[in-house]
Amino acid sequence: TFDRVGVTYGRGNKTTTALVDFNLRVAVGETVALLGPSGSGKSTALNALAGFVRPATGTVRLAGRDVTDLPPAKRGIGVVLQSYALFPHMRVYDNVAFGLTSRRVPRGEVASRVAEALDMVGMSAYGKRLPRELSGGQQQRIAIARALAIRPSVLLLDEPLAALDAQLRQSMLAELQRLKEALPDTAMLYVTHDQGEALALADRIVVMKDARLMDVDTAENLWKRPPTSFTAAFLGGANLIPCTVGRVIGTSALVTFAHKTVSAEAPQPTVGRADWAPHSKALLCIRPHAVKVVGLGDRDALRAKVNAAVWRGATTRLTVSVHGLPDQVIDVDVPGATTYDLGAEIGLRFPEPAGVLVQCP
């Protein structure tokens, strides 16, 4: 539990406020991802829980116990970092055993727990190797085994896949999913700036921005009904189109933009979120894959001009400017490899409802 945790680095007139009034409760067995851009305070939050930084304000609790002033080694937390941080001169076995021997676990038990931890990451055959004799992905597996050997109640992972290449990242992600299933009583806090990793692993996602928690909810809720424009854009790169709210019935609204009226989902107002008042300004959040390209003759089509077309493999990402929407470009994903002349006029059609309403920041 983070209870109003604040962290400031430095002193005098050279201070950085890295975490402000951070509140979060992670349940037993739950995996929470801290997702946000570089410098938003994710690692600082993790380090405050691990005991590597001392909060200026607030308290950190583990199983109800205030551990704010407890040294890291006494917290029973497993930590995995992006840089692996293995001891280069120690063999894999001794790296994994490190946390156990320093806790004075009897030697016989050390051997069985190291074997168990190496088995969990599929590295049983590598105990005698030195870290430099392993690939990056293998080294990260050893770092995970080392964290697991102490049988932590809490496992902290700070961008553990960031140093791996894309293909390896994909297979390690699947392994982490499997590990999560194998450790049903372990709470995990997973720091990443990669939304794909957060979506794949987390029961809940915390979106961080400028040292603060912006939003927290299940991945599905944050994706389907983003509470803020920041989360809408960061999680999935949504289009956010300024619009005017018209009639609202229940959770359905009519909104107008570019002289066009479309239907939109209007999420129930929650605490701290205003109602969708008629005539008020809002943002219509539309995912790039939801927009369809149609002929200019298509009834209801919105006229747009292609500014860029970038092939991404399974889809082509078009960046278009919409007639009647000055200063606004929209991203549209069309299936396959499609070529367009730059400057070509196309029609756009939105689904029903066209998207979900998000409050203007």
- From the number of C-beta atoms within 10 Å of its C-beta (0-12, 13-18, 19+), residue 187 rates as buried
Minimal distance, residue 19 CB to ligand ADP, in Å: 7
Question: If DSSP codes are grouped into helix, strand and coil, which group holds residue 198?
Answer: helix
Q: Amino acid identity, residue 178? A: R
Return the number of the residue (228 or 239) whose C-beta is nearest ligand ADP. 228
Partner from Mg ion, ligand ADP, none binding residue 18, C-beta < 5-8 Å depending on class: ligand ADP
Could you say whether residue 41 binds ligand ADP (CB under 6 A)? yes
Three-state DSSP string of 24-93: ECCCCCCEEEEECCCCCCHHHHHHHHHCCCCCCEEEEEECCEECCCCCHHHCCEEEEECCCCCCCCCCHH
Q: Which range of residues in 35-43, 227-235, 241-249, 325-333 is near Mg ion by CB under 5 A?
A: 35-43
Could you say whether residue 213 binds ligand ADP (CB under 6 A)? no
Could you say whether residue 139 binds ligand ADP (CB under 6 A)? no
Minimal distance, residue 335 CB to Mg ion, in Å: 35
Could you say whether residue 359 binds Mg ion (CB under 5 A)? no
Return the number of the residue (36 or 288) whose C-beta is nearest Mg ion. 36
Q: What's the DSSP call for residue 307?
A: E
Contact 325, 257 (CB under 8 A): yes
Return the number of the residue (41 or 226) whose C-beta is nearest ligand ADP. 41
Minimal distance, residue 136 CB to ligand ADP, in Å: 20
In angstroms, the Cα distances linking 37 to 194, 230, 236 are: 9, 11, 13
Neighbours of 109 (CB within 10 A): 10
- Name the nearest CA neighbour of 262 among 235, 280, 285, 230: 285
d(CA 50, CA 47): 5
Q: Which range of residues in 36-44, 111-119, 141-149, 329-337 is near Mg ion by CB under 5 A?
A: 36-44
**Pairing between β-strand 302-311 and β-strand 356-358 as defined by DSSP bridges:** unpaired
d(CA 177, CA 349): 37
d(CA 105, CA 339): 64
> Which residues have C-beta within 8 Å of that of residue 106, sequence separation ≥ 6?
none
Q: Which range of residues in 40-48, 140-148, 217-225, 305-313 is near ligand ADP by CB under 6 A?
A: 40-48
Contact 62, 24 (CB under 8 A): no
Could you say whether residue 83 binds ligand ADP (CB under 6 A)? no
Question: What part of residues 225-254 is at the interface with ligand ADP (CB under 6 A)?
Answer: none
Could you say whether residue 167 binds ligand ADP (CB under 6 A)? no
Minimal distance, residue 69 CB to ligand ADP, in Å: 19
Could you say whether residue 40 binds ligand ADP (CB under 6 A)? yes
φ/ψ of 24, rounded to 5, equals -165, 140
Question: If DSSP codes are grouped into helix, strand and coil, which group holds residue 211?
Answer: coil
Question: If DSSP codes are grouped into helix, strand and coil, which group holds residue 73?
Answer: helix
List the strands of the sheet with 65-66, edge to edge: 16-24, 2-9, 57-62, 65-66
Could you say whether residue 82 binds ligand ADP (CB under 6 A)? no
Q: Which range of residues in 36-44, 98-106, 220-228, 254-262 is near ligand ADP by CB under 6 A?
A: 36-44
Q: In the set 43, 139, 231, 359, which binds Mg ion (CB under 5 A)?
A: 43
Could you say whether residue 47 binds Mg ion (CB under 5 A)? no
Minimal distance, residue 333 CB to Mg ion, in Å: 29
Contact 146, 113 (CB under 8 A): no
Q: How many residues bind ligand ADP (CB under 6 A)?
A: 12
Return the number of the residue (43 or 231) whose C-beta is nearest Mg ion. 43
Q: In the set 4, 9, 74, 247, which binds ligand ADP (CB under 6 A)?
A: 9
d(CA 50, CA 74): 10
Could you say whether residue 52 binds ligand ADP (CB under 6 A)? no
d(CA 79, CA 158): 8
Q: How many residues bind Mg ion (CB under 5 A)?
A: 1
Return the number of the residue (11 or 132) whose C-beta is nearest ligand ADP. 11
Could you say whether residue 38 binds ligand ADP (CB under 6 A)? yes
Could you say whether residue 40 binds Mg ion (CB under 5 A)? no
Binding site for ligand ADP (CB under 6 A): 9-10, 16, 18, 36, 38-44
Binding site for Mg ion (CB under 5 A): 43
